[in-house]
Structure 1
Amino acid sequence: MTPIDLNADLGEGFGRWRLTDDEQLLSVVTSANVACGFHAGDAATMRRVCELAAERGVRIGAQVSYRDLAGFGRRAMDVPADELAAEVAYQIGALEVFARAAGTRVSYVKPHGALYNRVVHDEEQAGAVVEGVRLADATLPVLGLPSSRFLKLAEQAGLPTVTEAFADRAYTEEGTLVPRTQAGAVITDADTVVERSVGLSRFGVVTSHSGERIPVRARSLCLHGDTPGAVELARRVRDRLEHSGVRVEAFA
C-alpha cells in the first residue's frame, strides 16, 4: 500500500491574530504548508512555525498565494504572468530564510486558495507559478490536484510533482473541487471526513457531490487547519489511517 502524507495549512495568522493551532497540528501532520505573507502570515509567524516544524521533523512547504491579505487569498484575481512568477519566487525565498535558520529547508511548494483552483485549468497562471518555483529552486516538488494543468506543466518543466486529495472538500464528477461559494463545498461532519480519508488513502476513490464514486489517486492528503475542531479531527484521521494499515509519512 502506498504511504500517505498528511499536510495542513499552517502559519495562517497576522500580528496578534491567529487562525491555526500550529503547535498542536504539527504533532499530527507530516508536512506543513506555511503561509508566506501574501494571504496570511508574517515574518515572526513564519519563523515560529519553521522552528516548531524543524523540532518535530515535519517537512516545510511554501504555500504561495495571490497578494490578498484582506480576502485570505480566496478572491479571484488577474495578475500578469511575469508579476505572478516573481511573487511566487519571492514568497518561497522569504520562507527559505526562516527554514534555513531553523536548520532545515523548504521542501515543496503548494498554491493556496484562489490560485490553487485557478491553476487547475488556467494555462497562463499555471505556467507563471511553475516559472516562479523554478526561479526559486528548480528541484522543488509541487503539490496539486491530479490531472491539473499546473502539475502537467510542472512535470514538463522538470519539477517533481505530488498529487493531493481533500477529505473535507466536495468533488465534482471531473475530480475538481466544488467551489466554496456552493452549498456543501466544505464537509463538516467529522465521521464523514474520517471515512473519506480512508477511502482516498487505501482505495484512491471518493464520492462526488452528485453521489458518483470517482478515482482520485493522491500521495498527500490535506487536512485544513482553519476549520472548527481541526486538531481533534486531524488526530482522528491519522489514528484511523494507521489502524487501517496505511503508513503515514512525508513524501518529501
Structure 2
Amino acid sequence: MSEPEPLIDLNADLGEGFGRWRLTDDEALLAVVTSANVACGFHAGDAATMRRVCALAAEHGVAIGAQVSYRDLAGFGRRSMDVPPDELAAEVAYQIGALEVFARAAGARVAYVKPHGALYNRAVHDQEQAAAVVEGVLLAGENLPVLGLPGSRLHEAAGKAGLPVVAEAFADRAYTAAGTLVSRREEGAVVTDPDAVVERSVGIARSGQVLSHCGQRIIIRARSLCLHGDTAGAAGLARRVRSGLEAAGVRVEAFA
C-alpha cells in the first residue's frame, strides 16, 4: 500500500492595513495561499479593508479566517495585555461577527478563527486567556475550527469545548527546542533566507520536522503552514514556497 499524499494548507495574515495605509499585498497573496487570516480591526484592518479582502478571497476560492487580536492598533497587536476574560471573550466574538458580515456579503462564510500576535503567544501557555478566546468563538455562535500552535492551552481549551482544532506551523519563524516560537525580540526570530524557508516548509509538510533555533531537530505536526504577509517580498516568497511544496509531492489544500 502506498503512503498517503502529504497535505498542507498555506495561510497568511491579510487585510493588515488601515485607511490609506496598506501593509500586506493582499491581491498577490490571495493568488497563492489557500486560507486568509483577515485582520478584524483590533490590530489592523477597517470595514472597507475587510470587505475588500473578503470579496477577493471569495473570488479566489480562499477560505476566510477571523484573525482576532487584543485591541492594540498602535502596537499592531504585538503587546501583551491583561484583559479580563469576560471582556476578551466579548471582543473576540465582536471581531468574528464583524468579519462574518463581509464574508457573507461576498458569498462566503468565516471558516475558522486564529488569534494574532501577542494574543496568539499568550494563549499558548495562559489557560485563562485561552479559555476566554474559546468562549468568544462559542459566543459568536458557530462551531468554528481554531487554528493555533499544537499542544497549546488554546487547543486544549478548544478541544474541551468541542471545537475542532487545526495545528499550525511557521515556515519563516524560528522555533525553540520546546516547539514554541522564538520571541521577535531575539535575533534570528524571523527566517529571512528564501531557500531556508522553502526547505523548512517541505520538511514540515513531508516529515513533520524542523530544526530549532539551537540546531535541534524537533517534531512539528501541522495541517496548516503560515507565511507572514507583512515581510518584504512576502508574495514572491509565498509563490516559491508553494512551488517547492508541489515539486516535492505535497498537495496544497485548505483545511476548512
Q: Which runs of 5+ in 1 are unaligned?
A: none
Q: Distance in 2 between matches of 1:235 and 1:139?
A: 32
Q: Distance in 1 between matches of 2:164 and 2:186?
A: 32
Confirm whether residue 64 of structure 1 aligns to residue 68 of structure 2.
yes
Q: Distance in 2 between matches of 1:98 and 1:89?
A: 15
Task: Map 1:20-59 onto structure 2 (within 5 A).
Answer: 20-59=24-63
Q: Distance in 2 between matches of 1:63 and 1:204?
A: 25
Aligned residue in 2 for 1:159: 163
- Describe the superposition over 1:121-157 as per-residue Cα deviations: whole angstroms up to 9, x where unpaired: 0000000000000011341001000100100110010
- Describe the superposition over 1:153-182 as per-residue Cα deviations: whole angstroms up to 9, x where unpaired: 100100000000001000001100001011
Cα offset, 1:232, TM superposition? 0.4
- Describe the superposition over 1:39-77 as per-residue Cα deviations: whole angstroms up to 9, x where unpaired: 000000000000000001000000000000000000111
TM-score by length of 1: 0.99
Q: Distance in 2 between matches of 1:119 and 1:181?
A: 18
Q: Distance in 1 between matches of 2:20 and 2:37?
A: 20
- Describe the superposition over 1:181-239 as per-residue Cα deviations: whole angstroms up to 9, x where unpaired: 11110111111101000000100000001100000000000010000010000000000
Runs of 4+ displaced beyond 4 Å: none
Aligned residue in 2 for 1:129: 133
Q: Distance in 2 between matches of 1:44 and 1:187?
A: 32
Aligned residues: 252
Q: Which runs of 5+ in 2 are unaligned?
A: none
Q: What do you get for the CA RMSD once the two structures are aligned?
A: 0.5
Task: Map 1:1-252 onto structure 2 (within 5 A).
Answer: 1-252=5-256
TM-score by length of 2: 0.98
Do 2:6 and 2:249's aligned partners in 1 also have CA atoms closer than 8 Å? no
Cα offset, 1:3, TM superposition? 1.0
SS of the equivalent of 1:198 reads helix
What amino acid is the match of 1:214? Answer: I
